[in-house]
Structure 1
Amino acid sequence: MNNEIHGCSEGGHAEGWCAGYVFQRVGKIAATAIGGGFLLLQIANHSGYVQVDWKKVEKDVNKAKKHLKKKANKAAPEINTFIEEATDFIKRNIVLSSGFVGGFFLGLAS
């Protein structure tokens, strides 16, 4: 039984490290793509290649924020249930969970 717990802890570390590493890489790639796209749009706008109607962009963003807020309010009970289930799982599997979290942070750091 002790080997099983030890094995879970190692698996948790490895899986957590992989998840953290991937999360870090995907986050950097996404930030670069979004930032680069925005920069190219600004350059194209200032060069006269593209005309951006910023008032329309702002209106659409505000509309999307209102829509997301409505969806979030409807999904709140489901999210609370998910959080409660996740908390119960973590409490029942504290060794695996702590290994995963530790590995996740190591993956973010590397």
Structure 2
Amino acid sequence: MPSATNGRGAGLDVDKVAEEAESMFRRALDDVKSGSTYKQLGWGAAAGWVTGYLGMKVGKLAAMTLGGSLLVMQVANHKGYINVNWAKVNHDIREISEKVQDDVKSAAPGAAGEVKKFALENKYVAAGFTGGFLIGLSCS
């Protein structure tokens, strides 16, 4: 696989970096799993809170961007700057929606199994993550 460059001509092996990141994540998770119940709950809650908080912020930004662009496009269409073929837009949106639904359905069984396996092996981390995630959602 060709390596990416960092702008200064030096190569960066993406596969190697991904392996190192995965190794570091696994070591950290093993450290948490070997810790006390409180440590597992704490780390799970912290990770859940960060995930929930960032998810809400990114979700709000995405919704505002999409809504704002649709509003600008509608105003430009109304003023005569552009002529939007809304039938084609709606058709394309339906096609994309169906493709995404098919992709989610095909990926969901495997992903759900992995999440369930992780949650069963790491009950305290999963419980802490769930609580932290809900708190993170409510904080933003």
Give the fraction of aligned pairs with identical amino acids, expressed as a percent: 33
Tell me the residue number matched to 1:80: 109
| Root mean square deviation of aligned Cα | 2.2
Tell me the residue number matched to 1:55: 87
Match of 2:119 among 55, 71, 90: 90
Segments of structure 2 that go 5 or more residues without pairing to the other structure are 1-32
Tell me the residue number matched to 1:40: 72
Question: What is the count of residue pairs matched by the alignment?
Answer: 107
Match of 1:13 among 42, 45, 51: 45
Name the amino acid aligned to 2:48.
G
Higher relative contact order (CA 8 A, sep 6+): 1
TM-aligned CA distance change 1:70 to 1:3, over 3 Å: closer
Higher helix proportion (structure 1 or 2): 1
* 1:4 counterpart = 2:33: no
TM-aligned CA distance change 1:2 to 1:79, over 3 Å: closer
- 1:50 is paired with a residue whose SS is coil
> How far apart are 1:81 and its partner, in Å?
2.4
Q: In 2, distance between residues paired with 1:93 and 1:48?
A: 58
Tell me the residue number matched to 2:61: 29
Segments of structure 1 that go 5 or more residues without pairing to the other structure are none
Per-residue CA deviation, residues 3-31 of structure 1 (Å, 9 max, x unaligned), is 52211110111111111000010010000
Q: In 2, distance between residues paired with 1:101 and 1:60?
A: 36
Match of 1:99 among 120, 123, 128: 128
Q: In 2, distance between residues paired with 1:62 and 1:3?
A: 49
Name the amino acid aligned to 2:116.
T
- 2:36 is paired with a residue whose SS is helix
Q: In 1, distance between residues paired with 2:101 and 2:60?
A: 27
